[in-house]
Structure 1
């Protein structure tokens, strides 16, 4: 009988270990989701600043000063070039908003306490809780992975926006100096 009790105690310790491990993974996935969303929020604030900058650059008042075909072509080039960062920033905005939008995250499914559950063995209860943690982790890990990919795509398009803005500023300065 003593050996049977030791074996049960060992199983309970193992079940506790797995239950604790499952809980740690649940916390990790929850924290991972929060971190991705915070970073996306910061990136969205930067996008707001860049959109304001781009819209301020889309000043069409210089078109009134176009007196010949060369100036018209120069101003048209500037306007078309400004569409590139506008398109890339909208693409970035699309991906980053997908990160922020709420999706159907699942919680840990712990059943209500009933007489039947109270009669179950500790080992069976821990196994059920661990299974619940496992299901939560599987479902939410894929959602977090999707958010991470969207965040990386959003940052990549934001990088393209910054590069294209630098190029537009250089070309804009060159065209302005040639036309002046």
Structure 2
């Protein structure tokens, strides 16, 4: 890359692995100074499933400098067509690493933690230094919680992460006011809601 000057700006990476569309992939690959990792996988492939938690850990560890995207090639569609035509993917899982629009590494099949760590460290080291951070959001950059995360309560009184209990102002009406007694008495969930409302 001698003689080429790279942009002195970059975008924050992503702290989670997310399912990307073909347009998401193109947007991220056009970004300078961020390590983009494409995980070509299939939801029915045991090796893809085994690799998944390892990539989740890498996404958290290298969130500042990398964006890891899952591209599901296990079913017919736009993603599978892109994988075969543009990236010659003929097996899963395959990890392709891109930096400044160029492919810099490829790993096939399940990788041990050390090999994954070496690849991420090697390529993110090239991004260290003084950069102007770009504004605006790209797909996947919002760390959204899943519906399951928001709905699951471990035990009574527990609230999902990111939700806090608020004090009900004096004079506020009971949330169960006006509901038929038969509805309230036949549902254990409704009974719990009534109890919570009284606290």
TM-score, L = length of structure 2: 0.18
TM-score, L = length of structure 1: 0.20
Structure number having the greater strand percentage? 2
Q: Which gives a bigger RCO, structure 1 or 2 (Cα 8 Å, sep 6+)?
A: 1
Structure number having the greater helix percentage? 1
Is the radius of gyration larger for structure 1 or structure 2?
A: 1
